[in-house]
Amino acid sequence: MPTIDDHITTYLAAIEVEGKTLKTRQSYANSLADFRKIGRVLGLPDTVEDYTVSHVYAFLAEIRRRGYSVLYQHRRHREVKTCFSWFRRMGILEVNVFQRVPLVKLPLTIKTPFSPPEVQRLLDAQDRETLTGSRNYALVLFLLDSGVRASECVAVQLDDVDWDRGRVFIRHGKGEKQRWVGIGPRTQDALVDYTSRFRGDTNGALFRTSAGDDMSSPHTLNTLLQRLATQTGVSDVHPHRFRHTFATWAIESGAREIDIQMLLGHSDLTMTHRYARTYTSEKAVRAHASLSPVNRLPTPNSTSSSRRP
Model pLDDT, residue 177: 82
Please report which residue ranges of 44-181 form alpha helices under DSSP H: 53-65, 70-89, 116-124, 131-146, 150-155
Which of 199, 208, 244, 266 is flagged as catalytic? 266
The amino acid at residue 252 is E
Predicted pLDDT of residue 259: 74
Task: Delimit the domains of the chain by residue range.
Answer: 4-100, 116-286
Q: What is the pLDDT of residue 72?
A: 92
The active-site residue out of 81, 208, 241, 243 is 243
pLDDT value for 89: 95
Cα(116)–Cα(166) distance, integer angstroms: 23
Is 277 part of the annotated catalytic residue set? no
- Which entry of 149, 199, 208, 241 is annotated as an active-site residue? 149
Predicted confidence at residue 306, as pLDDT, reads: 47
The pLDDT value given to residue 290:
66
266 catalytic per annotation: yes
Cβ atoms < 10 Å from Cβ of 264: 23
Can you give the pTM of this predicted structure? Answer: 0.70
The domain 116-286 having CATH identifier 1.10.443.10: the answer here is yes
**Dist CA 166 CA 141 (whole Å):** 14
Active site residue 240: yes
Catalytic residue check, 105: no
Mean of per-residue pLDDT scores for the chain? 88
Question: What is the pLDDT at residue 148?
Answer: 92
Instruction: Point out the catalytic residue in the list 25, 74, 78, 174.
Output: 174
Task: Please state, as a whole number, how many other Cβ atoms lie within 10 Å of the Cβ of residue 97.
Answer: 18
* Active-site residue, selected from the candidate residues 240, 274, 277, 279: 240
| Count, residues in the chain | 309
Q: How many CB atoms lie within 10 A of CB 180?
A: 14
- Residue 51 is among the residues annotated as catalytic for this protein: no
Rounded CA separation 209/183 (Å):
22
**How far is it, in rounded angstroms, from Cα 148 to Cα 150?**
7
* 241 is a catalytic site residue: no
The topology under which CATH files domain 4-100 is DNA polymerase; domain 1 (1.10.150)
Q: Would you write out the chain's pLDDT as a tens digit for each of its 309 residues?
A: 799 999 999 999 999 999 888 888 999 999 999 999 999 999 999 999 999 999 999 999 999 999 999 989 999 999 999 999 999 999 999 999 999 999 988 776 667 889 999 999 999 999 999 999 999 999 999 999 999 999 999 999 999 999 999 999 999 888 778 898 999 999 999 999 999 999 999 989 999 999 989 988 899 999 999 999 999 999 999 999 998 898 888 888 777 777 777 777 776 666 666 666 665 666 656 666 666 677 667 877 655 444 555
